[in-house]
Structures are given as C-alpha cells and as structure tokens.
Amino acid sequence: MGLCWTFVALTCLGLCVTGQHTTATSAAHRIHALPGYSPPTDFDQFAGHLSLPSSNHSNQLFYWLVEKSSNATANQRDTSPLVLWLNGGSGCSSLTGLFTELGPFVVQPDLTLLRNPYAWNRHMNILFVESPLGVGFSAPRVSSSADYNDKFKAARLTEFLVEFIQAYPWYAGRDLYVTGESYAGMYIPHLVEQLLDHQRRHANDSQEDDFVQLKGFAIGNPITDHVIDNTAFLEYYYTHGMISIEAYAQVRQACNSTALLAQYSGIWATYNLSKHPCAVAVNAAMTEADTTHLNRTIFTPTCAVHRGATGGPCVDKYTQAYLGQRSVQVAIHVLSDNADTFPWRSCQDDITDDLYQRTMSVLPLYPKLLEHQQQLRVLIYSGDADSMVNFMGTQRWISTRDGLGLTVTNKWKAWFGPDKQLAGYTQAYDKGLTYSTVKGAGHMVPATRPLHALYMIECFVFGLEACQRLTYPVDSLEYLTGDTATFVSDDEDDETTPTTSLIQWWHYVTWYAVILVATVCCMAGIKRKAAAAQPRYAALNNAGMGKHPQYDSATS
C-alpha cells in the first residue's frame, strides 16, 4: 500500500514538474484587475511577454489574451476558436485594436474603462500580439533594419504561437483564424504561409497535436499590391467628391502610365517632394482635398486634442495615455513594482518606414494559400468609406487579370446585419475567398461599424446559420440607445464637450402619451366649439330660408 502511494506521489510530482513552465506562465500572466475598471468581468484575460528561443530568449513579444465570455452558450475552455488579431501600420500595436475596435474595453477621456458591447470575445478567444519587435511593449528593437521585413515578422509570430500553446496548452488543437487590417494585408499572407509549412513539417509527429489548427484568415482594407492599390487612390477621391473634375483630369493627363500613378499616388507617396508633372498634379489634387484637416480613414472629424476638445476621434490618444500609466503596466505584467514606466506608443514610425515597400505585393503568395489541400476560408472586407486603402483597388486585385483573376461563384448582392439594416455587399469566389464591403465603415471597420463587423466575423467563423441564431446588441450608431453621447463643437473658440442623454424607452412612452392626450383634448375642444356655435349658424340659415324675390320670379 505504501509503495502504491509512493508511485502516485511520484507521478503527480512528475506531472507538476513537466507542467511547471506552462502553469507558472499562465498563472503569472493572469490579469486580476485593471485600473479604471471595477466591475467584475465574465471572462479571463492574460497579458505579458513570451520569449523567443531563436534569440536565446532575449527577444520578447508582448501579448494580451481575452478569453471567451463565460456567459456564452458553450463551455469556456472546450472547442471555442482562437482568433489572432494584428493591426497594421506597419509598425502599429495590436493593443490599439484591443482598446479602439474589437476588445472588451474602451478608454474614456478620464482614463477609466467602459465595456464594449460589440467585443469579439462573446464566443471566441481573441489574442492580440504586438509585432514586430520594437512595437509597443515588445522588445528589443531589432538592431538591423534589414531584419524588418514581412518574412522575418511572420517567422517570429509562428515561433511565438508555438510558445503560446506551451504556455496555454488548453488551446492545443483549437481552430485558429488569423485576422487583421491595413498593412496586415502584407504580413498575414506570409504568416499563413509559414503556419501551413509548420503544419506540413509536423504532420506526422506528435507536435502537430500540440499546435493550433489553421482554418482561415480575414483581412480588412488590406494593403496587398502597391501598384493596384495606389492607382485606385485618387480615383476614389474623385468619385467621392473629394477633388474637382479639373484636378482629376490633370492627374490623368500628367500621370499617363500605371507606373507613374503607382509611384506618386497612394498612402505614403512622396508627391510633395518631386517636380515631376505627375507629382505636381497629384500634389495639387491632394491640396484640394485639404488632407491637413481630413481623417482619411473615414469622413469624420480629426482629433481635436490640440485645441482642448475631446470626442470619439481621440480614443487612440486616450489609449496611449492609459497604457502609459505605471499602474496599468504593473497590472498587465510589463513592469515590476519598482521599475520605470515604459513609454508606450501606438505606432513606431521608424519601423513603419523600415517595413513599408520592403514587400511590393503579396499576390504571388495567394495561389499557394487558396489552393492548399486544407482549403482555407478567406474573407477580404472593405469599409466603403475608407479613402486610404479603398474598395476599388481591393476588388481589382481579387477579380481582374492584373490580380488573382478569381472566378465568381456567388454574384454580388446586399447583405444585412442583425438589425435588419443594409450592412454592405458581398460576392463569393472560387477557392474559398469571399469579398464583402461594409457600408459607411472606414479604414478600421470594427471601430466605425462595430455591430456589422461583429456580425460579419461571427458569420465567417461559425457560419451564417449559426450567427443568425445568436443575439446581438442594438446598434447605438443608428438607434442612439446608449446612455450618453459625447459630441464636440466644431467651433475652435468653443472647447466644451457637453454630454446629452439619449432617447430611452420611457421617453417614447412619455411622448406618445403626451401626443395622445393632446389629440383627445383637441378633439374635445373642437366638438365643444361646434356645439356652442350651432344656434348662431342655425339662425343665419333660417334667415336665409325665405324665398328671394329673384328666384320667386324665376320659379313662378
């Protein structure tokens, strides 16, 4: 009997030793509380650094894992998918997406946190990773600029995911969807390629069972091919009334080749630094568009922090201020209690400069991804109010011979959100790719059309029939059913930010009651007035009932 207990004890000790690293990592990275938010949450979240073996563990990527809500119908740690989210930039932090787009919290002007009713972790586990090294809390910055390329970044992310599964073994074997936006259109195809290669290399060994199962990827407003994307840039400006017909005609005349238009138009084109006739024409058109005061991600106000006002466009500034707090950095395991505060920034411009134009096109990767035997599901979507990476260029690289030239399998049609409102248009192609537009959305679709973005991604992951059975929050952008709405005066001399109560259900009841009472009173008043006037009108009528002499003679 004693020998039996000894064997059990040794077995348990062995399990504890072999699982000590993973257990210790997940336990050490659990977020117990966040400054600025006191209510309990219905989900677990973890944050911290994972070191990469390829650098002898000196390189560390920072992540924030938001697990599925425990209020969801399925068990929390069963088969719910893992969704990796990557922001673009190309040097921007994915924590921006967490706090301004699809995460469970939104930072308020006073740096408190508000729950986001459109968070993507209702039925999915969302993993935000700051990549590449040097972005956000991920460190250190790579010393050689040559290492800042999309293949290097994808290799480090693949390595990170291997370490992540070791730290969180309950995600082994789960379905994985890779998602992102903007410049993620360049490095997600590289990452998907490396993940497929990883799965192929380990298809016949036990390590495959200890990894995630890649099922598909979704990219919003993706930078994909600089030539196709850039040549559609000013066409969007003209067709959306942002530049005059004269300016557009001048651009067409001066930039009389695809190469010129691709070189001097686009997001980061240096048209203002060249005297070439094409550059001069593009510069004149962009001056007309008044890009200094234009938020090109969508037609909305720019952030007015510089003049003392606050509002929706400034949420990225609030996020930067929130994550720069010492108490927050301790809570998410960036700092120890006695360390100096880390100067977190949403984007690293020098890394963006290093990465941009290292890859001119990822179209050559798509045939391999789309024709893979695993048959990945692919969603490409565009906010139709985005003037940075517009839907015109995206449709062209999907459909035309200059791009992928895919065959349409389900023709262009409208799609509707759970609010029964037109949400955009969609078209399906062969090889598993679907393209959708999101009506009224800008460059960051989950930020500008959160309800429709949530519905779209859940339908992509779980299927249309499944997402149609789910319940969704009311779209406050259209129905204004939230508790408060903050707006900003456009007058530079008026720096107030009044808060106005929005219409609640009891407002409607009160107004209908007032209208009903007023209608009844009016009808009663009309009847009383008619009754009082009846004798007077009767007397007049009686006075006129005698025969008129003219008519008497006519009828006699």
Rounded CA-CA distance 136/329 in Å is: 12
Contact 297, 385 (CB under 8 A): no
Which of 86, 111, 91, 89 lies closest to 101 in space, CA to CA? 86
DSSP state letters, 297-337: TSSSPPP-GGGT---GGGHHHHHHHHHTSHHHHHHTTSS-T
Q: How deeply is 448 buried, as exposed, middle or buried, from its count of CB atoms within 10 A (0-12, 13-18, 19+)?
A: buried
The amino acid at 425: Y
Integer Cα distance of 418 and 453 in angstroms = 11
Tokens of 49: 């650094």
Q: What is the largest CA-CA distance in the chain?
A: 139
132: preceding bond cis by omega (within 30 degrees): yes
Q: Is residue 348 within 8 Å of residue 147, measured between CB atoms?
A: no
Are the beta carbons of 384 and 435 closer than 8 angstroms?
A: no
- Give all strands (DSSP E) within 121-255, no chain letters: 125-129, 175-181, 213-220
Cβ(106)–Cβ(116) under 8 Å?
yes
The C-alpha atoms of residue 296 and residue 313 are separated, in whole angstroms, by: 12
Distance CA 459, CA 49 (A): 32
Three-state helix/strand/coil letters over 2-47? HHHHHHHHHHHHHHHHHCHHHHHHHHHCECCCECCECCCCCCCEEE
User: What does DSSP say about strands 125-129 and 60-66: parallel, antiparallel, or unpaired?
Assistant: antiparallel
| 115 Cβ contact list (under 8 Å, min separation 6) | 39, 104, 105, 106
Residues marked active site are found at: 182, 386, 443
- Cβ neighbors of 45 (< 8 A, separation 6 or more) are 30, 31, 64, 65, 66, 67, 104
**Alpha-carbon span 334 to 341, nearest angstrom:** 9
DSSP state of 389: S
Return d(Cα 219, Cα 180) in angstroms, integer: 5
DSSP string, 248-272: HHHHHHH--SHHHHHHHSSTT--GG
